[in-house]
Amino acid sequence: MKRLATFLIAVCVFSCSSKRQGIVFWQFQRPDIMETLIDDFSKSHGIDVKMETLTWQSGFEKVVMAFSSGRIPDLLELGSTWIGKFAAEGMLEDLSDAVSDIKPHLMMWELATYKGRIYGIPWLVGSRVLFYNRDLFKRAGLDPLHPPQTWDDLIKCARAIDALGEDIYGFGLNAGERYILYKKFMPFAWSAGGRILNHDQSRCVINSPENLEALKFYVSLKPFSVLDRQDMIDEMFKQGRVGMMISGGWNLKRLPVDAPQLDFGIALVPRHKKGAHVSFAGAEILVIPKGSKKAQALELAKYLVEASKALEVAKKVKGVQPASMDALKHAYYKDHPMERLLLEQCMISRSPPASPHWIEIEEIINDRLEECLYGKISPSEALSKMESEINEIIAP
C-alpha cells in the first residue's frame, strides 16, 4: 500500500506540474509595479512566469551576451532603437502573422518593424514635451497661458527669461550624456523636414539644408541656456532657475513631490514655421527571441499590451503611456490632462530609423552635436562629419 501511495503521489505531482508551463520574462520596469500584473496573468492563464528586471545602464550588454550564449528569455522588453540590430541578426521571431488581432489597437508599429516585417509588439510609448515655469514667464512679461508654439516663440521666451538674472536660464540644453542629446535635437530637424537616412537606409542624408537650419537654430539657444546633463537641468527647473526644458513624463511624478510650490505647465514641442510639433518617439517593445516558447510568450505579450494592463504601468511610471490607442477612452486621461497631452505628443512624434547600425549612428550624432554645442566645430562641419562617418558604417 505504501508503494502504491507513493506511486499515486508521484503521478499526481507529474500530472499537475505538466499542466503548468513556465516562461522567463526580462523587462526594465520596476518589479513592484509588474509583480501584480504577472501574478494575475499566471493565475488566469496557467502559465508560471519567472521575471527578471534589467537596468538601462547595463541591460543592452546583458541582452547581447544572452543572445551570444543562447541563454535567452522567452519574452523580452527592448528599447525601440535596438529592434533593427537584433532583427537584422536573425535573433527575433517574426510576429507579422501573429498580431493581426491586436494591430488596429496599438500605435508605433513602425518601431517594431524591420524591412516590412514585424518583430515585436509595442507595449509602452514615450515622448518629450516642453516644460515651462509659469512664474518665470510672468516675471519676464510673458503670458503663462500661452507657451511657445514656434521656434521664434521659443527663442523669444528664452531670451526674455534669461535676462531676469545671472542665476536664471531661459532654456536647458543637454550635454555629456549617453542616449540623450540626439533625442533633443532631432525633433527640430524632423520639424524642419530633415532626415537621417534615405528611404531604403542605404545612405546617410543628414547633411541637408533642413538639418542645417535646425542645428543653427538649436545652437542659437545656447546664449540663453544652461548646458548640462538632464538630471541637473531637471533639478535646476525644480529650483525655479530654468524657464523651459524639453523633458519626459517622469517629471509629472517628481515635480509635485520635489517642488510642490513650483507652478509649471507643459506644451507640445515648438515647431518650425512650416512644420509640425514633432518630438522624439520611443517605445518599449515586447519581442520573442528565436528558440523560445513562442506560444506562451505571445500570450503574455498580448496580455500586457491590453489598454487596462499597460495603463496600470503608465499610471505609476508617469514617463510612459500605453501603446494601446484604446487607453485614450479611459476616464483616467480626463482627470490627468498633462498625461493626455503626453500621449497626444506621442501620436504626432517620430523615431529614428530601424537600422541595424543605429547604436553606432546614435553615438556619432551625439558626439558631433556635443562638439558643436561646445563651439569646437560649426553646425555645417558637424553635419558633414556625421554624414561621412555614418556612411562609412552603413556602406555594404
pLDDT of residue 6: 45
Is 91 within 8 Å of 289 (Cβ atoms)?
A: yes
> Domains plus CATH for the chain?
2-127+281-347 (3.40.190.10), 128-278+357-394 (3.40.190.10)
Residues of the chain with pLDDT under 70: 1-20
Give the tens place of pLDDT for each residue, 46-74.
999 999 999 988 989 999 999 999 899 99
What are 311-364's pLDDT values in tens digits? 999 999 888 999 999 998 899 999 999 999 999 999 899 988 888 899 899 999
> Do residues 157 and 142 lie in contact, with contact meaning Cβ atoms separated by under 8 Å?
yes
Burial of 208 (0-12, 13-18, 19+ CB in 10 A): middle
Residues 6+ apart with CB under 8 A from 173: 184, 218, 221, 222, 225, 226, 227, 228, 373
Extract the C-alpha cell encoding 325.
490607442
Using the structure block, give the residue that is written with the C-alpha cell 508521484.
Answer: 10
Give the predicted TM-score (pTM) of the model. Answer: 0.84
Q: How far apart are CA 226 and CA 245, in angstroms?
A: 10
Residues 6+ apart with CB under 8 A from 201: 353, 355, 394
State how far the alpha carbon of 310 is from the alpha carbons of 126, 142, 302, 316, in Å: 13, 38, 10, 10
Beta carbons within 8 Å of 300's beta carbon, 6+ residues apart? 23, 25, 41, 45, 47, 49, 75
C-beta separation of 215 from 382 below 8 A: yes
Return the number of other C-beta atoms located less than 10 Å from residue 365's C-beta: 24
What pLDDT shows up at residue 15?
A: 43
Predicted pLDDT at 13: 42
Q: Where are the alpha helices (DSSP H) in 21-170?
A: 31-45, 59-69, 83-88, 134-139, 151-162
